[in-house]
Structure 1
């Protein structure tokens, strides 16, 4: 019966594509309206779009949305990770931090970051990303400025806790925001265009810190305090501008014509089975669907393991470079942190770009993890400074792309907007648990070779490889099992709302590896 229906749908598809152009436009408008579905019960799109019109729209969205969120995320990551630059510029000595105090300060940030992750993304959906993202950006910019005036472990811990609250909504908020604009195949590459700012923040942050440290003073501030103050002021300026430049959703975009708005909404809607409105109301059942999806949970755990490496590099790269080049000046040590991040940035964009072209994500999980493994094997096997410095390039090549790929993966494997918000929030929350672990991965007694930290990261990257292969096999097995389901029988007697609440449990839904 399913096969017969599929053949009928194929015939209908051929008839639809032969319609006159004005009929296509009318259909697109209807599909964009609330109360109308854009797929049949088997998940096949009811609307067919002009590829040239889609390409023009996509390019327009890229130019109007991506630059703003990318700049905000650049300084989000700089304001978080600049404590690593400040550490080797005298922060520990001035604040009288001893033993594990520095690790404790890093941990405080992640406690609030983890707690507020999912609530923050729910608030982002409720308030609207066009207001929420600029507001939290202003908040963490102010926190960065406040860090410049910390005078002991208690004040810096308090400011870092507040920084975690404001930054909690940034990564998942932007990922959720972009999912309002892009198809599932397009999303990973667009996420990479702002997540690439994480490795670039490592590179640019090192250059900026080096430049700032060449100043005699900034107002009454000196040395590491100037880093926090100047970078925080830049963040505040960008966030104020973004209040005027970020558009909340396609329907409110003044830079889109009505025809473009309809196309933007309908093309996203055409990938969501049984969806009658792209931006649905908050719903507990759909929220739990996003959190408890097996793909969300496994992907989130992979992101947790990956973040032990990524965040560890962010906080400890200057320290690691200092042990490799102990005789260099502080400024030269800062500059040595830049090249590995540049290489990492290249792969952060390359893997998601290929993901967009092939509409695949899991294969790049499997390709990225061995690079991380090789890098940490080099760290553990050699004490030669050149070998260990080379290892940082290989690690960065494999590690940074997971941010875009993992968030795109959980987004692609749920249906409703509410489930998407909670799935992304869950993924990033798990990732930040990995960030919390990373703050204790490189301990003072373990230097200069850091066997514990390097061994831990080798173990996590090996586990990522195993989990990725298992998840890919399970998704393919589950899809084959779903093909045997009698869709009509499964949906018989259900209301439209009940069908929508099924989300990824809908019998016509297919996992997208």
Structure 2
């Protein structure tokens, strides 16, 4: 039996051998032993993705649990009036946005194993502090700190995954951990319902216990993450020496040698500028802005919307679980199809209309059963569109610091949707919230058009590269190189 038949192919190829097609990896990117590929991916998927999913679940839980706490008299106990609750939500997004690009630029220096758990522990402690505030000023101050500490997580995780998986594998992996966002809505409702049974034990009201317990859970998760999250495939202790070398080699081949250049890349402001002035960044970021405007408002106000349908607070917590659960399944399926066919924008052109239909109907119907049914379309359309848009820009950005900038800037722009979300669903609109739904509907329609524009833009650049218009960039080792083809 040959080495390739046994599945024990040693990967000792140097960079020069890989470029020439020598060593144990074929030059076209087809690996000698697919069983070794499956083994490496299985280990990466089962050791890394659950950790990231748990971190992201904690992140979404700690930013949206205020919607659950609101049902248990948070505003009355803190003496909030008028738009003060909305202002408290908005300040979170202000500091969240400001922290994203700086966090991504220092991720490589501090390493993911240190930085991501550090962020988690810090925001967990801040989330716990929300359970001890006594007035509006305290609420605003702690929410500002929460945004500052939590803002670097998602762009950091996307950047981290892009250094471990190939371009054709990224959307599914983002989809898997992003389902934690939809599951956090389901889990958050169930957990809030359970924690409400604590009552006023320890001198804390029910809404305070929601913040304290969920924040403590986040701190424990962050501490555990430090001990189990590797910095990358090359240092993963759960891989054998052979598997680590193989994982690095396959990344090198899939990027036409760009990974080697990125590993030695030094920080340069010119790369930051390339990310800031990229047309793709603005097309996808503005489309994502519309998606997050809907997604954040959905997460923050779904319990309130359901109580407006005639349910009690406790019933609303439970009824909010089902749309999120359905969205998690559709999100993974959409991400799988996106990777399977190696398309991003085209998938979104099909998934976003689900949410568009949901918002169009819920804004123009009085039937409570129909309204609740539309929350399923809203959730599935919104959540299933996120993995493709996150993976798309990362796929089409080469050069570590450009990709770090585009990933963070995309989220920085998109998260401005949080400001929209917190002000378009005031209590005075309830229970129909027609104006709020109509605003999100308009943003989603605009987002669909921007996605179409980016698909056409990427197609044009690929055509220009094929026609030799980018030959002057040959050998640059970044996304300007004519050998680097954009994903549509």
Which residue among 180, 183, 187 is the counterpart of 1:204? 187
Give distance in 2, aligned partners of 1:474 and 1:138. 41
Give distance in 2, aligned partners of 1:246 and 1:236. 15
Contact 2:363 2:435 in 1 (8 A): no
Which residue among 207, 224, 231 is the counterpart of 2:214? 231
Which residue among 259, 272, 275 is the counterpart of 1:290? 275
How far residue 472 of structure 1 moved from its aligned partner, in angstroms, is 1.4
Alignment correspondent of 1:354: 337
Structure 1 stretches lacking a partner, 5+ long: 1-18
Give distance in 2, aligned partners of 1:389 and 1:491. 53
Secondary structure at 1:414's aligned position in 2? Answer: coil
Alignment correspondent of 1:81: 64
Give distance in 2, aligned partners of 1:39 and 1:110. 49
Give distance in 1, aligned partners of 2:191 and 2:204. 16
Residue 47 to residue 350, structure 1, CA distance change in 2 (3 Å): closer
Alignment correspondent of 2:142: 159
Residue 26 to residue 199, structure 1, CA distance change in 2 (3 Å): closer
Which residue among 430, 440, 460 is the counterpart of 2:423? 440
Contact 2:352 2:385 in 1 (8 A): no
1:70 aligns with 2:53: yes
Give distance in 1, aligned partners of 2:52 and 2:439. 33
Which residue among 348, 371, 377 is the counterpart of 2:360? 377
Alignment correspondent of 1:30: 14
Which residue among 478, 482, 486 is the counterpart of 2:465? 482
How far residue 125 of structure 1 moved from its aligned partner, in angstroms, is 2.2
Which residue among 163, 181, 184 is the counterpart of 2:164? 181
Secondary structure at 2:82's aligned position in 1? Answer: coil
Give distance in 1, aligned partners of 2:81 and 2:454. 43
Count of residues in Structure 1 that have an aligned counterpart in Structure 2: 479
How far residue 445 of structure 1 moved from its aligned partner, in angstroms, is 2.5
Which residue among 133, 154, 161 is the counterpart of 1:150? 133
Q: TM-score, normalised to structure 2's length?
A: 0.93
Secondary structure at 1:248's aligned position in 2? Answer: coil
1:103 aligns with 2:78: no
Contact 1:28 1:47 in 2 (8 A): no
1:428-482, Cα deviation, whole Å (9 max, x unpaired): 1122111222111212322221122111111011112222222212222221122
Contact 1:141 1:232 in 2 (8 A): yes
1:410-433, Cα deviation, whole Å (9 max, x unpaired): 110012222222111111112211
Q: How does 1:130-149 map to 2 (within 5 A)?
A: 130-149=113-132
1:130-154, Cα deviation, whole Å (9 max, x unpaired): 1111000001100111000011110
Contact 1:207 1:338 in 2 (8 A): yes
Give distance in 1, aligned partners of 2:481 and 2:314. 57
How far residue 359 of structure 1 moved from its aligned partner, in angstroms, is 1.2
Give distance in 1, aligned partners of 2:202 and 2:218. 18
Q: CA RMSD in A?
A: 2.3
Alignment correspondent of 1:458: 441
Residue 45 to residue 301, structure 1, CA distance change in 2 (3 Å): farther
Give distance in 1, aligned partners of 2:413 and 2:97. 8
1:48-93, Cα deviation, whole Å (9 max, x unpaired): 4132211110001011111111111111110100000011111011
How far residue 281 of structure 1 moved from its aligned partner, in angstroms, is 3.1
Q: How does 1:248-287 map to 2 (within 5 A)?
A: 248-275=231-258, 276-279=260-263, 280-287=265-272
Residue 37 to residue 438, structure 1, CA distance change in 2 (3 Å): farther
Give distance in 2, aligned partners of 1:277 and 1:475. 24
Secondary structure at 1:164's aligned position in 2? Answer: helix
Alignment correspondent of 1:51: 34
How far residue 336 of structure 1 moved from its aligned partner, in angstroms, is 1.3
